[in-house]
Amino acid sequence: MTEPIDDDLGPDESSEALIAVHWREEGYYPPPASFVAQANAADPAILDAFTEDKYPECFNAYADLLDWYKPWHTTLDTSNAPFWKWFVGGELNASYNCVDRHLADKANKAALIWIPEPESEAHAAITYRELYNRVNEVAALLRDFAGLKTGDRVTLHMPMVPELPIVMLACARLGVIHSQVFAGFSGTAAGHRIADSGSNVLITMDGYYRSGDLLDHKIKTDEAVEAAAKEGQTVDKVLVFRRYPGKYSAQTPMVDGRDFFVDELLKDYKGALVEPVSLPAEAPLFLMYTSGTTGRPKGCQHSTGGYLSYVAGTSKYYQDIHPDDTYWCMADIGWITGHSYIVYGPLALGTTSVIYEGTPNYPDPARPWREAVKLGVNIFHTSPTSIRMLRKVGPDEPAKFDYHFKHMTTVGEPIEPQVWRWYYESIGKGEAVIVDTWWQTETGGFLGSTLPGIHAMKPGSCGPAALGIFPVILDEDGNEVPQGSGKAGNICIRNPWPGVFQTIWGQPDRFVSTYFAKYNKDPKSTDWHDWPYFAGDGAVQAADGYFRILGRVDDVINVAGHRLGTKELESAALTVPEVAEAAAVPVVDDIRGRAVEMYVSLKPGYAATPEVEGKVRDAIVTDIGKIARPKNIWIVPDMPKTRSGKIMRRVIAAASNFTDTGDITTLANPEVVEKIRQQVQSTKVAKGEVPRELSETELAEIKHFGSE
Ligand code: WTA
């Protein structure tokens, strides 16, 4: 990791990473015969095609799913390790592959179906022909009005509307690198990402619906532009789509000469056609920012050829997408799942991808099932948080609707076996195969999953490694944890794969130090065997080879599948003048998996008041967004610290979660621990917030939180 290992951690503590995690072995569920009969991968021979002796050429089969202007001559170039290059010499265009090439046989088939949140508004189906027209017109506008060219970065801060994939594909057509920031992030958070990526154009929308309200989203633009300016980045143009073209739905004024309505500009580009740019396979396609151990977000840079091949291949074999399927992934396109498995993978395969604007349970928990019936959705993709929520608010709803899923995905967080079973039995009606896909923003596509037509499912385990992925579990010293031993350690991927990100935008050293340095013994080596990829997750492997992911081993809190860095949360809290120190920790939450609790201590002379608490909460919402809003803010007399002054987050995490604080004798101020525990736990008891007994995996995460 980039952070130095704390020298106050005695040998006992660091070796604790190697804990045995015991859980009840779950029984297997075979894939339904009806699924297997039509699966893209039902013949186990595919496993033999991806064994290590066939690596890396095995991945040519994924690249062959695409149309190339120029074939590649080298599948994998490792000469600048660990900056891998895939399909070197090849040239292609992602927009061409997701749009143009489908015109021959699918011109009038729906590429996208958009479900607006208000049920009074009609669905919008966009055929491949229409997508082609709109992508071309927007590409012409980006090139001729906004002045964007190959290699430029542009920041998108768009909600879940079809204009978002249209803009992404228009950028891809030109070789412009898009950086979409989740619409739920604040203007300030968008501004940091604008500055980091060096974008001078921001593309946004005036408003969108969320839980029945038409939100003013344009209000975030001024904050974003201002935050970027503070970091030295000027935004020249803000392109504003309107939720209702011709009618402005936001209250915030447009800035003359900077802000433009896209629907007005597009009138000049009617019927425009833009030739897709032939790009080298390693040309960056997009940046996707994610959180890590330090405050500065990481712009994960994904390639055109490797990434698109990987998402096309995994969409085919793991999502089992056939062109005639109607595929609905409820993730947000503002996250990697949406990029890979709403936009690029499904469209590369020419299927119909459904986009939903709003919240799953609006206006009632039957909403997804009504839509599934209306649209004939047969592949469904969501997160454990949504499943837990739908189970809580509408456990009997799915049975009332006559939809039939052949395939379902869970992604983003560990899923509890009982939640998995409800997904299988109630949402899937026992007819759908489930894939529990483990992967990350950095990895572009799936790393661990069952092959749905071949492997049996096991609730709570993602399954074996994906095709061509060779994981290993290592202990802190780099020794291999025996395979199939059920012992926990750090899961790493031994080999490069086409979907892996190319670098962190503008931070190549951080790319190497965060993901590769930990287990690399020879920084000069150009042999990929010397560069295991450190995923930052704890995992165990059972005797059957299936992996169970335990969660992050770094300072990242996974709230409802959204990665939040403790440093980002803490920096936001520290902007409040009264706050001296801040520490963010995870608390187990029955719906969202984890929630954030924030601990702050105040500068001398300030009293702990509800006002200060409110300021901290507001600062976090302003700097990051509502998703980061802490469940509780605790103003404490002092933070538990090591003798070198490091805040012991695991100790306060234990207070929040009612777990054992562990050994505190090495602390500089052990006496404060009991005070904090009393304060936090007595308040929680009074509020009825005492958590249920934690599972082994939850306990393991809390116990180790922040110990890297
Ligand atoms: C966690 C989301 C358990 C994991 C695609 C990872 C999972 C982080 C799973 C990445 C899963 C993702 N089971 N945990 N199936 N999928 N995770 O970058 O901790 O938003 O490191 O990518 O989510 O989150 P990210």
Residue 441 Cβ contacting ligand 1 at under 6 Å: yes
Q: What is the mean pLDDT of residues 267-289?
A: 98
pLDDT above 60 for 19: no
- Nearest CA to 616 out of 577, 588, 644, 563 is that of 577
Residue 551 Cβ contacting ligand 1 at under 6 Å: yes
From the CA of 562, how far away is ligand 1's center (Å)?
9
From the CA of 565, how far away is ligand 1's center (Å)?
14
SS3 (DSSP) at 391: helix
For residue 562, the ligand 1 atom closest to its alpha carbon is: 20
- Are 21 and 696 in contact by the 8 Å Cβ rule? The answer is yes
Residue 462 Cβ contacting ligand 1 at under 6 Å: yes
**What is d(CA 547, CA 490) in angstroms, rounded to the nearest whole number?**
12
Of 1, 537, 557, the residue with max ligand 1 atoms within 8 A of its CB, to mutate for a pocket test, comes to 537
- Nearest CA to 559 out of 624, 504, 616 is that of 624
Q: What are the strands of the beta sheet with 110-115, ordered from one edge?
A: 124-127, 110-115, 352-356, 326-329, 379-382, 407-411, 433-437
Of 558, 562, 564, 627, the residue with max ligand 1 atoms within 8 A of its CB, to mutate for a pocket test, comes to 558
Residue 540 Cβ contacting ligand 1 at under 6 Å: no
**What is d(CA 151, CA 162) in angstroms, rounded to the nearest whole number?**
24
From the CA of 533, how far away is ligand 1's center (Å)?
15
Residue with tokens 């430029």: 152
Residue 563 Cβ contacting ligand 1 at under 6 Å: yes
From the CA of 459, how far away is ligand 1's center (Å)?
16
From the CA of 563, how far away is ligand 1's center (Å)?
8
Q: What phi-psi label fits residue 120: left (phi over 0), alpha (psi between -120 and 50 degrees) or beta?
A: alpha
- Nearest CA to 360 out of 341, 332, 338, 401 is that of 332
From the CA of 537, how far away is ligand 1's center (Å)?
8
pLDDT at 697: 81
Which protein residue's CA is at the shortest distance from atom 14 of ligand 1? 413
- Nearest CA to 568 out of 207, 188, 32 is that of 188
From the CA of 290, how far away is ligand 1's center (Å)?
12
pLDDT above 80 for 293: no
pLDDT at 21: 52
From the CA of 671, how far away is ligand 1's center (Å)?
37
Which protein residue's CA is at the shortest distance from atom 11 of ligand 1? 438
From the CA of 363, how far away is ligand 1's center (Å)?
28
Tokens read off for 467: 């095709």
Which protein residue's CA is at the shortest distance from atom 6 of ligand 1? 440
Q: What phi-psi label fits residue 127: left (phi over 0), alpha (psi between -120 and 50 degrees) or beta?
A: beta
Residue 439 Cβ contacting ligand 1 at under 6 Å: yes
pLDDT at 23: 59
- Are 431 and 32 in contact by the 8 Å Cβ rule? The answer is yes
**What is d(CA 139, CA 163) in angstroms, rounded to the nearest whole number?**
12
Residue with tokens 């500065």: 296
Residue 130 Cβ contacting ligand 1 at under 6 Å: no
Structure pTM? 0.94
Within its chain, how far is the Cα of 494 from the centroid? 22
pLDDT at 554: 85
What share of the chain has pLDDT > 70, as a percent? Answer: 96
Give 313's pLDDT tier (boundaries 50, 70, 90).
Answer: very high
Residue 291 Cβ contacting ligand 1 at under 6 Å: no
Where do runs of H (alpha helix) occur along 518-588?
566-574
Residue 414 Cβ contacting ligand 1 at under 6 Å: yes
Q: What is the mean pLDDT of residues 3-24?
A: 40
Residue 297 Cβ contacting ligand 1 at under 6 Å: no
For residue 337, the ligand 1 atom closest to its alpha carbon is: 5
684 Cβ partners below 8 Å, 6+ apart? 632, 658, 690
For residue 448, the ligand 1 atom closest to its alpha carbon is: 15
**What is d(CA 164, CA 153) in angstroms, rounded to the nearest whole number?**
16
Q: What are the strands of the beta sheet with 533-541, ordered from one edge?
A: 471-474, 489-493, 533-541, 547-552
- Are 466 and 59 in contact by the 8 Å Cβ rule? The answer is no
- Nearest CA to 668 out of 220, 223, 4, 6 is that of 6
Instruction: Please tell me which residue, 184 or 6, carries the higher pLDDT value.
Output: 184
Whether the upstream peptide bond of residue 532 has omega within 30° of 0, thus cis, is no
Tokens read off for 141: 């506008």
Strand-strand pairing, 91-92 and 279-280: antiparallel
Q: What is the mean pLDDT of residues 582-609?
A: 95
From the CA of 128, how far away is ligand 1's center (Å)?
32
For residue 552, the ligand 1 atom closest to its alpha carbon is: 19
Residue 436 Cβ contacting ligand 1 at under 6 Å: yes
pLDDT at 690: 87
For residue 414, the ligand 1 atom closest to its alpha carbon is: 3
What share of the chain has pLDDT > 90, as a percent? Answer: 89
pLDDT above 70 for 708: no
pLDDT at 22: 53
Residue 554 Cβ contacting ligand 1 at under 6 Å: no
Which protein residue's CA is at the shortest distance from atom 8 of ligand 1? 440
Residue 440 Cβ contacting ligand 1 at under 6 Å: yes
Q: What is the mean pLDDT of residues 275-291?
A: 97
pLDDT at 644: 85
Q: Give the largest Cα separation in the chain, rounded.
A: 73
**What is d(CA 347, CA 366) in angstroms, rounded to the nearest whole number?**
28
Which protein residue's CA is at the shortest distance from atom 4 of ligand 1? 551
For residue 335, the ligand 1 atom closest to its alpha carbon is: 20
Model confidence pLDDT, tens digit, residues 64-114: 999 999 999 999 999 999 999 999 999 999 999 999 999 999 999 999 999
Model confidence pLDDT, tens digit, residues 536-555: 999 999 999 999 998 888 88
Within its chain, how far is the Cα of 246 from the centroid? 34
Q: What is the mean pLDDT of residues 367-386?
A: 98
pLDDT at 662: 87
**What is d(CA 629, CA 596) in angstroms, rounded to the nearest whole number?**
7
Residue with tokens 């939180």: 705
419 Cβ partners below 8 Å, 6+ apart? 384, 387, 388, 391
Residue 412 Cβ contacting ligand 1 at under 6 Å: yes
- Nearest CA to 151 out of 280, 275, 266, 240 is that of 280
**What is d(CA 441, CA 450) in angstroms, rounded to the nearest whole number?**
20
Of 413, 443, 553, 695, the residue with max ligand 1 atoms within 8 A of its CB, to mutate for a pocket test, comes to 413
- The rounded radius of gyration (Å) of the Cα atoms in the chain is 25
Whether the upstream peptide bond of residue 452 has omega within 30° of 0, thus cis, is no
Strand-strand pairing, 201-205 and 153-157: parallel
Which protein residue's CA is at the shortest distance from atom 25 of ligand 1? 440
Give 707's pLDDT tier (boundaries 50, 70, 90).
Answer: low
Which protein residue's CA is at the shortest distance from atom 3 of ligand 1? 414
pLDDT at 598: 97
As a whole number, the mean pLDDT across the chain is 94
Q: What is the mean pLDDT of residues 610-618?
A: 97
pLDDT at 440: 98
Q: What is the mean pLDDT of residues 651-680?
A: 93
> Per residue, what are the HEC states of 162-208?
CHHHHHHHHHHHHCCEEEECCCCECHHHHHHHHHHHCCCEEEEECEE
For residue 536, the ligand 1 atom closest to its alpha carbon is: 21
Residue 409 Cβ contacting ligand 1 at under 6 Å: no
Beta strands in 323-365 (DSSP E): 326-329, 352-356
Would you tell me how many other CB atoms lie within 10 Å of the CB of residue 257? 8
For residue 563, the ligand 1 atom closest to its alpha carbon is: 20
pLDDT at 4: 31
Residue 336 Cβ contacting ligand 1 at under 6 Å: yes
Residue 438 Cβ contacting ligand 1 at under 6 Å: yes
**What is d(CA 499, CA 511) in angstroms, rounded to the nearest whole number?**
15
Residue 383 Cβ contacting ligand 1 at under 6 Å: no
| Positive/negative CA dihedral, 84, 90, 94, 97 | negative
Residue 276 Cβ contacting ligand 1 at under 6 Å: no
345 Cβ partners below 8 Å, 6+ apart? 311, 312, 314, 315, 319, 321, 445
Amino acid occupying residue 346: P
242 Cβ partners below 8 Å, 6+ apart? 205, 206, 248, 249, 261, 262, 263
Model confidence pLDDT, tens digit, residues 145-196: 999 999 999 999 999 999 999 999 999 999 999 999 999 999 999 999 999 9
Strand-strand pairing, 91-92 and 201-205: unpaired
Where b means 16+ CB within 10 Å and e means fewer, 333-360 reads bbbbbbbbbbbbbbbbbbbbbbbbbbbb
Kindly state the helix (H) or strand (E) to which residue 536 belongs, with its residue range. strand 533-541
Which protein residue's CA is at the shortest distance from atom 22 of ligand 1? 440
Of 449, 563, 704, the residue with max ligand 1 atoms within 8 A of its CB, to mutate for a pocket test, comes to 563
